[in-house]
Structure 1
Amino acid sequence: MARLGGRTALWIFWFISTVISVLFMIVGLITFVNLTNVQWNEEAGDLGAQLNGALAACFMAPVLVAVLDLSAMLILAKKTYALSGTGLSYGFLTASYLWAAIFLLLTGTTLTSVKHWTAAFEQSLLWTDSNTREFTAATVLAFLSVGGYLAMFGVLLGCHRSVKAGQMTMDEVEDRIRTLPMSDVSHQASPGPQAWSNGV
């Protein structure tokens, strides 16, 4: 029951944090395109030339989010199905959520620092009220993603023991192999010492 609860908590928090981060990824890329249009607009003047930091944040953060969310799904799926315990991949995933949260915090801070420029951008024909709302949404979602990733980091730490306790023993591996059809068993690795002793 404990191992089921631990894995269930991981999937629940992964789903919540992923929904928030995917929304940020979408709005962040839209904001990146909007800022690119402003940067190349001569009417923006010197402000457009100072958008490199915001542009980098709006592009790199969604890429980071996409890679982390996909990697987390694959690693958690493997841990859930194979019952392989924690291992290196689990530790890497835990650390990744922490530094991703820090990166998203910097992203939100960067966008906040240039938020007051949107009033000047609205004087350009290429920036509208809708663009300002998208910019604000990207900033808010960046900070919400920080909270989601920190929560996921905490859950990964808290569920470490239950995931490790769910690691399959040799007897459980042999029982799973015995339940497979003979055609599948032939493709499995050679049985353990206990299986050989039973055969003798």
Structure 2
Amino acid sequence: MTIEAMPTGRPAVLEAEALCLRFGAVETLKSVSLTVLEGEIHAVIGPNGAGKSSLLNCFSGFYRPQSGSVRFKGQEISGLAPHRRAEMGISRTFQGIQTYPSLTARENILTGFHMRMRTGPFSALLWWGPTRREEEEFAARAEKIIEFLELEEQRHTHVGDMSYGMRKRVDLGRAMALDPAILSRWPA
């Protein structure tokens, strides 16, 4: 399967070329190619077992294809671990919700900024200077995400007390906190 973008002059953000993934004798992905240009939205649809999750897992680094390549902004990333890809700007949500039920919606979204933190634990103990500015910046950005996802009324509600749909929104907000160039998500 090959999905190619029409030439637009916009740079390719994510490219997969001839991805093949097998689990034993089962071939999950067979020569899958895809190009995502900056600003585009793509949908991967298909029946159960079609390889949708496997493709997203190859993009985010949870699976390594047996052959083919994955490039992010022109850089080969097939061998990079998931956390390295997240640092580069590839974020995702999972089929199962990945939130902390005992934290509020706001606190869960704030956990998404963890990888972007530049200050250390010692300055955090004093909460001054760069640490304070960084935390204030992340809090302001979390509020913008809360507003965008229309979670204002649930901001201080524990996620474990929310409906499934609201928990999925919070999970999306956590992924958005990385300010990703690519965001792969499962529909609610």
TM-score by length of 2: 0.23
Structure richer in helix, relative to its length: 1
- Greater Rg, structure 1 or structure 2? 1
TM-score by length of 1: 0.22
Structure richer in strand, relative to its length: 2
